A and B are shown apart, each in its own frame.
Chain A
C-alpha cells in the first residue's frame, strides 16, 4: 500500500466521519440554545412537559408494539412454512417482501386512502379504530423487508425439519411447534427485526400524516414549523431512541453468537 493510497484512504474516512458527526453535533448544540447566552436543557424540559408530546409519543410507542406483534404473527409462521414445506416458493415470497422498498410509502398510503375509504367494501378509514389498524398494517408492510430477512436468516441457523419432526413425534401441534419450539430458537433474530421495526415506526411521518393519526412524526414536523428550539430537542430524542434500538440489535446478535458457540 503506497503512501498516497493511505493518505487518500484516511482523507475519505475522515471526510465521511465528519459528514456523519457534524450534523449530529450541530443538532445537539442547537437544542441546547433555548436560553440566551448559555447552554441549557430548557428545550428538553419544555418538550417533555408538553402533553401533546406525551400523547403522540405514547401513541407511536403503542403503534410500534402492535406492529411488531402483527409482524411476528405474519412473518414467523410464513418463513417457517416456506423453509419446511415450500422451499420452491422462497424466491417469490422474498420478492413480495422486498416490494415495499420499491413502491414508495406515499404511494402505498395513497392506495389505502382510496381503497379503504368510507364508501368501500372494507371501510377501515371510517372509524378511529379502523384507521389505527390500517396504520399498523401499513407499518407492518414497511417493516416487512427487514423483519422477513431477519427471521429467515435466523431460521437458516437451526435445523427446522428435525426440530419439527421431533416435536411432532412428541405429539405437538402446529401452534405448539411454532410458539414453543421455533420461536424460542429464532428469538434473537425476531428481536433484532423488532427493534428495527420500532426504530422505523417511532419517527415515521408519511403514513401517519396522510392517515391523519396523532403520531410522533407528524407532531415533530408540526412543531418544527412554529417553535424555535423544541423540534431540535425532540430530534435529539428521536436519534437517541433509534441508536438505542440499533445498539440493542448489536447486543442481541452478539449474545446469539456467544450462546451458539459451545454447541
Chain B
C-alpha cells in the first residue's frame, strides 16, 4: 500500500530553544537574585541552616517598622480604593459627562506609575512647612496645619496622602472595567422586582463587585508596601518603615548581621506575595461574573 516516504528525518523537538534567551535572562536577573535572598534568610553567616534570622526579626526596631509599613499600606490602600471607586463610579454610571472618562483613564495610567522622588517634592511643596496649601490656609483662614490639625508631611499621614497620589489612579484603572461589566439587565431586573437603589447596591452590585474590590485593595496594599523612593525622599530616615530600614541595611549593614537583612527582605517578599496571590485569586473569581 501507501508507503510513507522517508523524507522526514526524526527531529528532536527544539522549539523550546527559542525561549532560552528570555528564560536565562529572567533567571539571572530576577529569579536567582530573589532565591539568593530567600536562602540567605535561612542561613547563618557560615552557611548552615537556621531559623534564627526569622526569629530575630522580632527584635529591636524591626517589628515596629513592619507595623508602621503595614499601617501606611492599609490606610493608603483603603482610602485609595474608596476615592478611586467613587471617581470611577461617577464616570462609568454617567453622573458626569461621558467624555471625561477617556482622559481620566489616560491620566490614571500615567499617575499610577508616578511613585518616586519628584512626587515627594510635589507634596513637600504643597503641604510642607512653607508649601502652597499650608501658606494659603494660614494666610486666608488662619489655620496652621501643624498646630491646629496636628498634620505634618513627614509623618504617617503625610506619607499616606502622598501615596494616594498613585493609589487612587491605580484603583480607577482596575475598577473601571469591573464597573462597566455590571450589566444594565441586572439593574432593570432588580427594579422590576421592586428593589430600591440601596437594595440593588447592597444585594446585587456589591456582592458581584466584592472580589474585584478586595482584590484591588490587595494590589494597592502591595504597591504601597514596596514603595521606596517616595518615602526616602520625603522623610529621609525620620519615619521608620521597612523599605527605608532595608535601604539603610543594604547601604551599611546597620543591623550588624547581613543575614538579618536577608530575613527583612524575605519578609517583604512574603507580604507582597500574599497580597498579590489574594489579588490574582479574587480576580479569577471576579471574572466569572464580569465577562
Contacts and interface: CB of A to CB of B under 8 A. Distances in A.
Instruction: Specify whether A and B are partners.
Output: yes
B202 to A, nearest CB: 16
Interface residues of B, number: 80
Contacts of B118: 27, 203, 220, 234-236, 238-239
A5 B93 contact: yes
B185 to A, nearest CB: 18
B255 interface: no
B268 A107 contact: yes
Contacts of B22: 74-75, 77-78, 93
Given A106-B265, A235-B121, 11 more contacts: A1-B93, A6-B96, A13-B100, A23-B126, A29-B125, A74-B22, A77-B22, A103-B34, A137-B28, A206-B228, A221-B233
A131 interface: no
A27 B26 contact: no
A196 B84 CA distance: 23
Given A85-B18, A115-B32, A235 B89 contact: no
B149 interface: no
Interface stretch (A54-62, A94-102, A255-263): A94-102
Which are the 6 A-B pairs with shortest beta-carbon distances? A9-B95, A111-B33, A26-B126, A104-B226, A9-B90, A30-B125
A220 B169 CA distance: 25
A42 to B, nearest CB: 16
A107 B132 contact: no
A232 interface: yes
Interface in A237-251: 238-239, 242-243, 246, 250
Given A103-B30, A115-B33, A204-B116, A12 B121 contact: no
A191 interface: no
B287 to A, nearest CB: 14
A195 B12 CA distance: 40
Given A26-B133, A210-B247, A12 B87 contact: yes
B63 interface: no
B117 A221 contact: yes
B229 interface: yes
Contact of A106 (B16, B228, B273): B228
A58 B154 CA distance: 31
A141 interface: yes
B122 A23 contact: yes
Contacts of A24: 122
Contacts of A29: 125, 132
Contact of A243 (B110, B168, B268): B110
A100 B126 CA distance: 32
B64 interface: no
B269 interface: yes
A16 B83 contact: yes
A8 B139 CA distance: 30
B216 interface: no
Interface in B48-76: none
